[in-house]
Structures are given as C-alpha cells and as structure tokens.
Amino acid sequence: MTRTGSPRDADRSSGGGAPSVVLVTGVSRFLGGNLAARLAANPAIERVLGVDTVPPSRDMLRRMGRAEFVRADIRNPLIAKVISGAGVDTVVHAALSAGPGSSGGRTAMKEMNVIGTMQLLAACQKSERVRRVVLKSTTAVYGSGSRDPALFDESMTPKDLPSGGYAKDAAEIEGYLRGFARRRPDVTTSVLRFCNYVGPRIETVLTRYFSLPVVPTILGFDPRLQFLHEEDALAVLERAAVEEHPGVYNVAADGVLMLSQAIRRAGRVQAGVPAPLVGPVGRFLRGTRVVDYSPEQMRFLNFGRVVDTTRLKERFGFHPRWTTVQAFDDYVRGRALRPVLGAERIEAAERTVLQAARMLR
C-alpha cells in the first residue's frame, strides 16, 4: 500500500497510536466482518466488539479471531449500554444497507439505516470515552443526473437531491453526524464516501448485475463508472479506525470504465433497453431476486458518476492499490466469469454480418 508523507507524519496523524476498544457495526456483512478481523489482528488494540442483529457466518466468526460478537440492534437505546459498559473509544459504523431486498424491504432498510444511526450517535454522545466515529457512506449522495459535473469533489452537492432509497438515507445520516460533531467537538468524525465495490469475494447489487449472462442497459447511454477493490475498501476503513483523519473523503480507484467496456471485459452480452421499458425491466429483475435494482440505481446506470479523490490522496494519505480497471478485472477472474459467447461463435457472427453487408452493396 502506497502512502504519502514520512513515518513521522503518519505518527502525528494517528493521534498518538491505535484505539483501545473499537466497536464495528454490521459485522454479519463482508466489510464489517472483515474489518473486525483486521482490527482484532492488531495487538495494539485491546478489544474489538462486532455488533449486528444476526450473527456472522461460522467462517466469518472464525476469521474474526478474538473479536467479540454482540447480538444487538442499534435501533434500540440499549446500544448505549454496550458502548458505555465496554468503554468503547472508537466506533466504525459500517452497517448501512444499500439493498431493500436483503434488509426486509424499504421500510426496514430505512429504519435500520436512519433510526439505527440516530440511536448509535445518541449513545456515542452520552459516552465520555468515545473519541472517534467513522461512517461508511457512499458517493450516491451526489446523485446521478444529466447536469452532473465531470468530477464530484467533497464540497459539491448534487444538482438533483436524492429522492429516496440508499442515497437519501446516506445524505440524512451524514447530516446527523455533522450535528453530532457540533455537539461533541472533542470527537473526531470521519466520513468515507465509497464508490461501488468490486472484488472476488464481496457480493453487491453491481457484482450480481455484471454476472448476468445478458446485461440490460439503457439504450443510447453509456455511463462512466468508478470501482474500488474490496481490499482497498477494507484498508481505508482500517486506517480511519486507528488514525485521526477528520473530514469527508471520496474513496474510489483511479481511472474509469464505460459501462459497455465493463460488460465486454466480463464477457457478458449487452442488451439495450428503450427508456420507456426501463421501469418494467427493473421491476422484473427485482421480482426475480436476481438483481435488486432500485430507481436510483437505474439512474446510475443511465448517467454514471465519477468523483475526485485528491483529498483522499493528499490529506488522508491513501492511494488505492488497484485502479478501476484492475479492480474490475480481479472481480472477473475471482468469479471465474467466462464469455457467454465463445471466440468461434463471435467470429461466425462477424462473418455473417460481413457477408450480409457485401450482399447489400
């Protein structure tokens, strides 16, 4: 991992060393569970607590090592007893959910995202021991639209505010964290706005989308996409948990891929869908439970989104190891995605097209 600055600079940014007791939310999912495992492997950290409403898989629990799983609902005020009783000084909130289907529906998802965060921050505010709060947010707070700038930086707001779903939840949650920071200026708050994750192990709406044999796209649009490798996402979260990095940071890999390029690299077949049919197709995909695509995600596939990561590199001191292309290719290799149409069939189709073109001359 490449870092900027000298070791002495890094020591200054870390605020005097690793935290003593860390609480990580959302440990039944990939990022939360693996982050807890990384932190538990750090001997400088005295104790790691992993919180979720359901237990992680047996494999995840094994990898979490000495991290302690606490079955608790952050929507319940009792989370304050967990934080105060354990003497937690660092909280990493990685439990935000992006998929209504995996959260029991949109209502349950919003309750867990918004109400859960409010209760968690209220518990942090009451605790005299808490000194650092890290929020896993999303670049979806910028929205996706035809009037978007070429690059979003952290100071920008969307031209069209998110009207619902995960993006609206994330925007509200960031607002609650800003309010918390005003009430507790002694606590370092870090907001990490992640772009879409990809990798051989992580499961997201987008990784399932690119694994479809025939990938539906919006006819006439070819948006620019940014990706972040799962290992880079974990590395950023880990550093934010053990070092002092106040502020808001866009987290994305260098470079972009056009949607059509990504589909070809995955060996899939692209199927353009006319705009009037996008809604019905999205509802059909959600109904099959193969891909749980919300209207905001369909807008993302229409217009795309690219963010500026200068602040991440210069102020946070983090340079992603994988570029967007490298991260996506590692996802393709890790999932063993094979071309839907082999080389022989593609060549045969090309010959047929050429023959038809000659006949029409």
Percent of the chain, pLDDT > 90? Answer: 66
Task: List pLDDT tens digits, range 83-101.
Answer: 999 999 999 999 988 765 5
Beta bridge partners of 70: 51
Taking all residues of the chain, what is their mean pLDDT, rounded to a whole number? Answer: 87
Task: List pLDDT tens digits, range 33-66.
Answer: 999 999 999 999 999 999 999 999 999 999 999 9
Amino acid occupying residue 342: G
What pLDDT does 341 receive?
66
Higher pLDDT, 13 or 211: 211
CA–CA separation, 86 vs 80, rounded Å?
Answer: 10
Cα 54 to Cα 86, 133, 135, 334: the distances in Å are 20, 23, 20, 27
Task: List pLDDT tens digits, range 272-286.
Answer: 888 777 777 666 666
Lowest mean pLDDT among 169-183, 221-235, 334-348: 334-348
Q: What average pLDDT score do residues 188-192 get?
A: 98
Task: List pLDDT tens digits, range 213-266.
Answer: 988 888 899 999 999 999 999 999 999 999 999 999 999 999 999 999 999 999
Q: What average pLDDT score do residues 316-340 get?
A: 95
Cα 233 to Cα 55, 192, 336: the distances in Å are 22, 10, 22
Query: Over 50: is that where the pLDDT of 308 sits?
Result: yes
What pLDDT does 129 receive?
97
Higher pLDDT, 204 or 13: 204
Confidence band for 287, pLDDT divided at 50, 70 and 90:
low
Q: What are phi and psi of 213, to 5 degrees?
A: -60, -45
**pTM for the structure as a whole:** 0.87
What pLDDT does 98 receive?
76
What pLDDT does 14 receive?
40
What pLDDT does 227 receive?
98
